[in-house]
Structure 1
Amino acid sequence: MTTTATTLVIGATGTTGSRTAAQLAAAGHHVKATSRRAATVPGAEPVAFDWFDPATHAAAVDGVNGIYLVPPVGDPDPAAVMLPFLRQARAAGVERAVLLSASAIPEGGPAVGQVHQALPGMFDQWAVLRPSWFLQNFTGGHMHAQTIRDEGGIWTATGNGRVGFVDAEDIAAVAVHALTDEPAPNSDLVLTGPEALAYDDIATSIGEFTGLPVAHHHLSYEQMRDRLAEQMPLEFAAMLAGMDRAVAGGADDYITDTVQRLTGRPAHTFRAVLERERRGERRRPVGTPASGARTVW
């Protein structure tokens, strides 16, 4: 790898952005770490940035060579704000852009797929990361992690479908290479872990790891949609339930060697992620309806 002058990491407090900023800084790269409020990342320069506030854009890209792009969260049309920013960044001298998309969104597809389609025409050096579902969906504050802790279960409409779940640390490691390797990948990169797992497998692994019973509750598409709609708009709930239905149909039942090719090491297994979470987090009591306070990992 070669050092870029400065890398701008957008969304540096998020799941992949925080890890990308940290790994770049640890490797000695100069990093600008952004969020709506200037993010604090050890070894990085904090920069305030808001996709919807153009007044924050010029200072963010000043002196920057490469950008890690995390789209605005929850925006159904991110291209509307991202493309003008990217044109401004290119005019300011930014040479490389690495976009976070998703394995389920093809080039030219909905939402960030439109940014994916435009990126190669805007930058000579680029990459689009298209990860599968995150293994971190079962840790921290994610909905599945919360129901595991609070109710001892996972609810999905995925049936027996399998997913090549990927570790966010691996996504960040690939992002670092995509931002700093010469030459740039100039391609889209589909990222998975080393194994395709059903949600039954996930529940069993967490149960074995924690010593606590964890069940996977199989719902229909309609049941999952209605369950999610209790927490979010119906249209978004229907979209998420539809993604579960796609998993049930086998859409995500594959693995790739992208992490190994780009980083030179194997992608992390789910067991390895659980071990790392246990080392890095305090044990915490969790209330459940059946047994009162429990401790997860």
Structure 2
Amino acid sequence: MILVTGATGTVGREVVGLLPAGVGVRVMARDPAGVVGVAAGVERVAGDYGDPGSLARVLRGVRTAFLVTAGVGGGDDAVFVAAARAAGVRRVVKLSAAAVLDGGAGDLITRWQRESEELLRVSGMEWTLLRPRAFMSNCLSWAGSVRGEGVVRALYGEAAHACVDPADVARAAVRVLTEEGHAGRAYTLTGPQALSAVEQTRQLGAVLGVALRFEELGPGQARAALAGRYPPAVVEALLDSALRLKAGAKAGVQDTVSRLTGRPARTFRQWAAAHAASFGALTAAAGPQAGPRAPGAGAAGADAGP
């Protein structure tokens, strides 16, 4: 039995959909009714990291678990690892982040991921770590301004970032979850090329058939925008992450996706084409007559993640 946590999230729902028929699959969610579109035979079970009793029920009979946590700085990983060990789980595949390898990264999010990885290493269970760069799907945060104004706004718009399609992360996860030979390994997952937010804007506009405009955000503007979505400590961690992006720390490309999955990692243009509908119909003001405008200086968005 394979347990998938985070089954309603960006990667987890893709993993559930890609696991092969005939494999026993159980998904954990606070509200199992919210897990929709899964294949017949997939078990949906209520579970919460804050309720160890529920984890014991969820983990009964599970041999392999896909672990996704989002409570930055919290104890969800520790609770899950303890429950998995007690339940006799053989292997845990953890969704981490590529920033753990960056010696210059000391922000809250990266420290939390490093600590979570260490919990698995000393757990006595088999473990595998997936360390993606930020997801291409973070660009969906641009949808409102793209639809309404034909504009993308981001911090450090000219810095290159080897962001990855979350569907490729899911494909890699499925291989690791269903094959032997991955115990004790860590895989860094990137896209096939490093692109700046300026170039992403150009490619997205080409896919949508419009000339999108890029506007550079200053650090203060980025902080204000992020403050509406995240707690203060996470905002500062994301801004610190953006500075590392500006310094070139996230531009390295690896071929891990193709080696694990047997197919090339998808490009940003391919991702944009697959998600064009998410950016909706543009207003007349956002049409082809709105020519591109070069940013003053910079590198990709603060929202890019670790």
What TM-score bracket applies, with the shorter chain setting the length? Answer: 0.7 to 0.9
Alpha carbons of structure 1 residues 56 and 195: separation in structure 2 relative to 1, 3 Å: same
Alpha-carbon contact 2:132-2:169 (below 8 Å) kept: yes
Q: Secondary structure at the match of 2:259?
A: helix
Greater RCO structure (CA 8 Å; 6+ sep): 2
Q: TM-score, normalised by structure 1?
A: 0.85
C-alpha deviation, 1:231, in angstroms = 4.3
State the number of aligned residues: 277
Alpha carbons of structure 1 residues 276 and 76: separation in structure 2 relative to 1, 3 Å: closer
Alpha-carbon contact 2:149-2:286 (below 8 Å) kept: no
What residue in structure 1 maps to residue 113 of structure 2? 112
Alpha carbons of structure 1 residues 35 and 180: separation in structure 2 relative to 1, 3 Å: same
Aligned pair partner of 2:251 in 250, 253, 259: 253
Distance, in Å, in 2 between the alignment partners of 1:193 and 1:166 is: 4
Alpha-carbon contact 1:102-1:130 (below 8 Å) kept: yes
Alpha-carbon contact 2:3-2:59 (below 8 Å) kept: yes
What residue in structure 2 maps to residue 3 of structure 1? none
Equivalent residues in 2 for 1:1-297, closer than 5 Å: 6-24=1-19, 26-38=20-32, 39-40=35-36, 41-43=38-40, 44-71=42-69, 73=70, 75-78=71-74, 80-106=75-101, 109-139=110-140, 143-278=141-276, 281=277, 284-285=280-281, 290=285
**Mean Cα displacement is larger for which, 111-120 or 199-208?**
111-120
Q: Secondary structure at the match of 1:105?
A: helix
Alpha-carbon contact 1:97-1:123 (below 8 Å) kept: no
Alpha carbons of structure 1 residues 250 and 89: separation in structure 2 relative to 1, 3 Å: same
Amino acid at match of 1:216: F
C-alpha deviation, 1:208, in angstroms = 0.8
Distance, in Å, in 1 between the alignment partners of 2:115 and 2:55 is: 21
Distance, in Å, in 2 between the alignment partners of 1:167 and 1:202 is: 13
Distance, in Å, in 2 between the alignment partners of 1:85 and 1:14 is: 18
**Mean Cα displacement is larger for which, 111-120 or 202-211?**
111-120
**Mean Cα displacement is larger for which, 10-19 or 34-43?**
34-43
C-alpha deviation, 1:130, in angstroms = 0.8
Amino acid at match of 1:203: T
Alpha-carbon contact 1:149-1:286 (below 8 Å) kept: yes
Q: Secondary structure at the match of 1:46?
A: strand
Distance, in Å, in 1 between the alignment partners of 2:12 and 2:77 is: 16
Alpha-carbon contact 2:135-2:166 (below 8 Å) kept: yes
CA RMSD of aligned residues (A): 2.4
Amino acid at match of 2:159: G
Alpha carbons of structure 1 residues 148 and 242: separation in structure 2 relative to 1, 3 Å: farther
Amino acid at match of 2:261: T
Unaligned runs of 5+ in 1: 1-5, 293-297
Alpha carbons of structure 1 residues 31 and 216: separation in structure 2 relative to 1, 3 Å: same
Alpha carbons of structure 1 residues 110 and 209: separation in structure 2 relative to 1, 3 Å: same
1:21-59 deviations in Å (ceiling 9; x for gaps): 1111x4432110121111232232111111112231111
Q: Secondary structure at the match of 2:214?
A: strand
Amino acid at match of 1:119: L
Alpha carbons of structure 1 residues 96 and 232: separation in structure 2 relative to 1, 3 Å: closer
Amino acid at match of 1:76: V
Q: Secondary structure at the match of 1:197?
A: coil
Distance, in Å, in 2 between the alignment partners of 1:76 and 1:245 is: 20
Amino acid at match of 1:128: L
Distance, in Å, in 1 between the alignment partners of 2:226 and 2:30 is: 28
Distance, in Å, in 2 between the alignment partners of 1:183 and 1:215 is: 47
C-alpha deviation, 1:225, in angstroms = 1.4
